[in-house]
Structure 1
Amino acid sequence: MKRFTARYVRDYFWQSRVRAVFFWILEIAVAVALAFAFSYYFCQNIVVQEGSMEPTLSAGETVLIDTAAYKLGSPKRGDIIVFRTGEDEKTSLHIKRVVGLPGETIQIRDGQILIDGETYMEKKDFPPITNPGLAEEPVTLSSSEYFVLGDNRNSSEDSRHVDVGNVEKKNIVGKLWMVTSPFDKFGLLKK
């Protein structure tokens, strides 16, 4: 039978304190690592610079980008994405709504969007498009291209314009998912 000497009791309590401090430090390290990973992949923020997404987003609003969204999946019709017009990391970011998916043929005729010859009925009430741009003639998307439009359809540089054109998947930074400021607009983005 062990004798509970003063030294035994002191050593036991010392070891339990060291163990407790170790686990406390480990828990903090794990929490910091998880917070960093979450903020890196889901909380990159940008400030909207232009009015091409009005009324959904206005210039000056701050939004969060989910940069992990398309690492495992692909953009869906109606997603609001952030992309670059080229592969250079220094090019500016653009925000638009996905309308055309890879392999589809897009055309804008009489103010309406046609996808593979069928009129696309949008979930929101956007005005008829007055300038079809490049989509006046049918635009067939490759297996990695998306056709994007700004919600402010008649005041937006988007896939209808040569400067933007069809968006390659590799140039998509992520999906917008939340407005963080101004406070009265705070919340999840609605499609």
Structure 2
Amino acid sequence: MEWLKAIIIAILIALFLRTFIFATSIVEGESMDPTLEDGERVIFNKLVYLIDEPERGDIVIIQRPAKNYVKRVIGLPGETIEIKNGELYIDGDRYVQTFLTEEAIHQTNNFGPVTIPEDNYFVMGDNRAISKDSRNGLGLILESEIIGKSEIIIYPINEWERTR
């Protein structure tokens, strides 16, 4: 009887963690290459944005009715975003995107300027040439649509690492 209680408690704890704290998501497509590749499974933290707000550079899970998206936060509420000749400008200042390859930077088309309203975020995929993001289809992302922060790649096993 004791082992049955232990199993039930373990299942309840696992359900609680999965429902309120952590969940997994599968990366679909190549829009986050090379940071995240098609088919990788990531653990995302659901709790972090209940107590804090997304920050520039965070890789987030965006919940939309048809499907979830994995993108990187680029612009924060109240900021003005512009891309000229592959260079990103935030409020008129050039922002160095250390998480991108030179090739990805040069594949980023001109965009904006656009000012981000309160409670909205501007997101892009790291593979700028093919990403559906705030520039071309997803639009600005409501804070309520951001359901978590990608933390760790868990599959394939040889790719185990924190997402950055």
Range into which the TM-score falls when normalised by the shorter chain = 0.7 to 0.9
Cα displacement (A) at 1:114:
0.2
Cα displacement (A) at 1:27:
6.5
Cα displacement (A) at 1:129:
4.1
1:114 equivalent to 2:89? Answer yes
Q: Distance in 1 between matches of 2:77 and 2:91?
A: 12
Matched-pair identity in %: 33
Q: Residue 42 of structure 1 contacts residue 64 of structure 1 at CA under 8 Å; is this kept in 2?
A: no
1:172 equivalent to 2:146? Answer yes
Cα displacement (A) at 1:130:
3.5
Q: Distance in 2 between matches of 1:129 and 1:74?
A: 30
- Local SS of the residue matching 2:13: helix
- Flag the structure with more relative contact order, 1 or 2, with Cα contacts below 8 A and sequence separation at least 6: 2
- Local SS of the residue matching 1:70: helix
Counterpart of 2:77? 102
User: CA, structure 1 residues 179+130, in 2 after alignment: closer, same or farther (shift >3 Å)?
Assistant: closer
Q: Identify unmatched segments of 5+ residues in structure 2.
A: none
The partner residue of 2:55 within 60, 76, 84 is: 76
The partner residue of 2:131 within 153, 156, 179 is: 156
Q: Identify unmatched segments of 5+ residues in structure 1.
A: 1-20
Pick the structure with greater CA Rg.
Answer: 1
Q: Residue 100 of structure 2 contacts residue 126 of structure 2 at CA under 8 Å; is this kept in 1?
A: no
User: Higher helix share goes to which structure?
Assistant: 1
Q: Distance in 2 between matches of 1:38 and 1:131?
A: 38
Alignment of 1:30-69 (within 5 A): 30-69=9-48
User: Mean Cα displacement is larger for which, 43-52 or 26-35?
Assistant: 26-35
Q: Deviations over 1:20-74 (max 9, x none)?
A: x78x877665544333222223332121111010111110111112122211211
Opposite residue 138 of structure 2, the aligned amino acid is V
Q: Distance in 2 between matches of 1:150 and 1:50?
A: 11
Opposite residue 51 of structure 1, the aligned amino acid is E
Provide the aligned length of Structure 1 versus Structure 2: 162
- Local SS of the residue matching 1:60: coil
Q: Distance in 1 between matches of 2:156 and 2:130?
A: 23
Q: Residue 48 of structure 1 contacts residue 60 of structure 1 at CA under 8 Å; is this kept in 2?
A: yes
- Local SS of the residue matching 1:137: strand
Q: Distance in 1 between matches of 2:98 and 2:57?
A: 9
Cα displacement (A) at 1:155:
1.9
